[in-house]
Amino acid sequence: MYWSEKQECMSRQEIEQTQLACLNKTIERVYYNVPFYKERLDSVNLHPEKINSLSDLQEVPFTTKEDIRKHYPYGLFAAPMKKIVRVHASSGTTGKPTVVGYTKNDINTWANLVARIVMMAGGTEDDVAQVAFGYGLFTGAFGLHYGLEKIGTTVVPISSGNTEKQVMLMKDFGTTLLVSTPSYALYIAEVAQEMGLSKEDLNLRIGLFGAEGSTEEMRIELEERLGIIATENYGLSEIIGPGVSGECTFKTGMHIAEDHFIPEIIDPDTGKVLPWGEKGELVITTITKEGFPLLRYRTKDITSLTIDRCECGRTMARMAKVQGRTDDMLIIKGVNVFPSQIESVLIGMEHIGPHYQMIVKKKGYFDTLEVHVELIAGKMLEKFSELEKLEGEIYHKLRSILGLDAKVKLVEPKSIERSTGKAKRVIDLRK
Ligand code: DLL
Encode pLDDT of 73-94 as tens digits: 999 999 999 999 999 998 755 5
pLDDT of 366 > 90? The answer is no
- Span 27-48, pLDDT tens digits: 999 999 999 999 999 999 999 9
- Span 97-148, pLDDT tens digits: 899 999 999 999 999 999 999 999 999 999 999 999 999 999 999 999 999 9
Q: Is residue 215 within 6 Å of ligand 1 at its C-beta?
A: no
Q: What do you get for the CA distance between the two ends of the chain, in Å?
A: 49
Distance 387 CA to ligand 1 centre (A): 36
- What average pLDDT does range 256-280 have in this prediction? 98
Please tell me the predicted confidence (pLDDT) of residue 341.
86
Tell me if 133 sits within 8 A of 159, measured CB to CB: yes
Confidence of residue 377 (pLDDT cuts 50, 70, 90): confident
Nearest atom in ligand 1 to the alpha carbon of residue 254 is 26
Q: Is residue 211 within 6 Å of ligand 1 at its C-beta?
A: yes
Tell me if 257 sits within 8 A of 316, measured CB to CB: yes
How many CB atoms sit inside 10 A of residue 49's CB? 9
Please tell me the predicted confidence (pLDDT) of residue 381.
62
Q: Is residue 299 within 6 Å of ligand 1 at its C-beta?
A: yes
Question: Cβ contacts of residue 62 below 8 Å, gap of 6+?
Answer: 271, 283, 296, 297, 298
Distance 236 CA to ligand 1 centre (A): 5
pLDDT of 382 > 80? The answer is no
* Nearest CA owner, ligand 1 atom 29: 236
The closest alpha carbon to 234, from 366, 168, 139, belongs to 139
* Nearest CA owner, ligand 1 atom 1: 211
pLDDT of 354 > 90? The answer is no
How many CB atoms sit inside 10 A of residue 152's CB? 13
pLDDT of 225 > 90? The answer is yes
Confidence of residue 379 (pLDDT cuts 50, 70, 90): low
Pairing status of strand 229-236 against strand 241-247: antiparallel
Cα 267 to Cα 280: distance, rounded to the nearest angstrom: 5
Distance 209 CA to ligand 1 centre (A): 10
Mutate to test the pocket of ligand 1, among 116, 236, 256, 297 (most ligand atoms within 8 A of CB): 236
Q: Is residue 140 within 6 Å of ligand 1 at its C-beta?
A: yes
pLDDT of 328 > 80? The answer is no
Q: Is residue 182 within 6 Å of ligand 1 at its C-beta?
A: no
Please tell me the predicted confidence (pLDDT) of residue 163.
95
Q: Name the CA dihedral angle for 292, 296, 301, 307, rounded to a multiple of 10 degrees.
A: 110
Mutate to test the pocket of ligand 1, among 301, 323, 425, 426 (most ligand atoms within 8 A of CB): 301
Q: Is residue 235 within 6 Å of ligand 1 at its C-beta?
A: yes
Distance 234 CA to ligand 1 centre (A): 5
The one-letter amino acid at 50: K
Which of 142-146, 157-161, 378-382 bottoms out in mean pLDDT, i.e. has the lowest?
378-382
Q: Is residue 147 within 6 Å of ligand 1 at its C-beta?
A: no
- What average pLDDT does range 271-298 have in this prediction? 98
- Span 398-425, pLDDT tens digits: 998 888 889 999 999 989 999 899 988 9
How many CB atoms sit inside 10 A of residue 93's CB? 5
Q: Is residue 237 within 6 Å of ligand 1 at its C-beta?
A: yes
Q: Is residue 286 within 6 Å of ligand 1 at its C-beta?
A: no
Please tell me the predicted confidence (pLDDT) of residue 309.
96
Which of 92-96, 310-314, 347-351, 386-390 bottoms out in mean pLDDT, i.e. has the lowest?
92-96
pLDDT of 196 > 90? The answer is yes
Distance 235 CA to ligand 1 centre (A): 5
Which residue ranges form the domains of the chain, and what is each CATH number?
A: 1-326 (3.40.50.12780), 330-428 (3.30.300.30)
- What average pLDDT does range 176-184 have in this prediction? 95
Which of 56-60, 255-259, 311-315, 387-391 bottoms out in mean pLDDT, i.e. has the lowest?
387-391
* Nearest CA owner, ligand 1 atom 15: 211
Q: Is residue 325 within 6 Å of ligand 1 at its C-beta?
A: yes
* Nearest CA owner, ligand 1 atom 14: 236
**What is the pTM (predicted TM-score) of this model?**
0.90
